[in-house]
Amino acid sequence: MNLSDFDKNEIPELAVTLSKEDIKYLIFNLKEKNNNLRYNSFLLLRARSRDFEDVYDYFDTFKDMLTSKNSYHKHIAVYLIAENAKYSKKYDDNKFLYVLDRYLQCCKDEKYSTARQCIQSIPIWIDHYPELIDRITDYLINIDLTIFRESGRGLVLYDIAKTIIYIRNIKSNDRIDDFLDDIINNERLDDKRLKELGMI
């Protein structure tokens, strides 16, 4: 399997054909220094996770990567945890719930790119955990944007609003409506962003 250079359009087809040994090899590559090898391995594992449970066997690996000092490792962990959360729910020992607090901490990571990745990953799994909607909503709404560099605050707020809007389509409440109204009324996002979100 040549992962250094292959057509990204082939990922869905390749993901279906992965063997256990292939998956083990791809997991090993997630901490590779070679960017192409690491990233392409991640893309294949993420695609595989959408329809097959066998990547879930490495959930503990993803959990450990959440606390890495390497931002790339955190990005990978966030998305592979999100993609595999649905499989975790069927087990009494729900590993996703165990790691949830640590996962959510990435929404407040000192590097706003990591925070954005985590916030953007929430819609991947939230449909499978409607019982967590109120908790996640409150968590996102209460994120203090001043912890991020000023240049990234608007981007993080945009991602929060987009995720909150997604959640509202599953279950709405007054807190969500008040939060979104506040963004509009206090011009916390520019018109371009608001239009992208369908808020104006």
Each residue's pLDDT, cut to its tens digit, for the chain (200 residues) gives 677 667 888 999 999 999 999 999 999 999 999 999 999 999 999 999 999 999 999 999 999 999 999 999 999 999 999 999 999 999 999 999 999 999 999 999 999 999 999 999 999 999 999 999 999 999 999 999 999 999 999 999 999 999 999 999 999 999 999 999 999 999 999 999 999 999 99
Q: Please give the C-alpha separations between residue 199 and each of 115, 128, 165, 190, in angstroms, as whole numbers.
A: 23, 26, 9, 11
Residue-wise over 70-83: b if at least 16 C-beta within 10 A, else e? eebbbbbbbbbbbb
Q: Which residues contact 72 (CB under 8 A, 6 or more apart)?
A: 38
Q: Render 6-43 in DSSP notation, one character per residue.
A: --GGGHHHHHHT--HHHHHHHHHHTT-S-HHHHHHHHH
pTM exceeds 0.85 for this model: yes
DSSP 90: T
Give the separation between CA 118 and CA 160, rounded to whole angstroms.
10
Annotated domain spans of the chain: 55-197
Do the Cβ atoms of 118 and 82 come closer than 8 Å? no
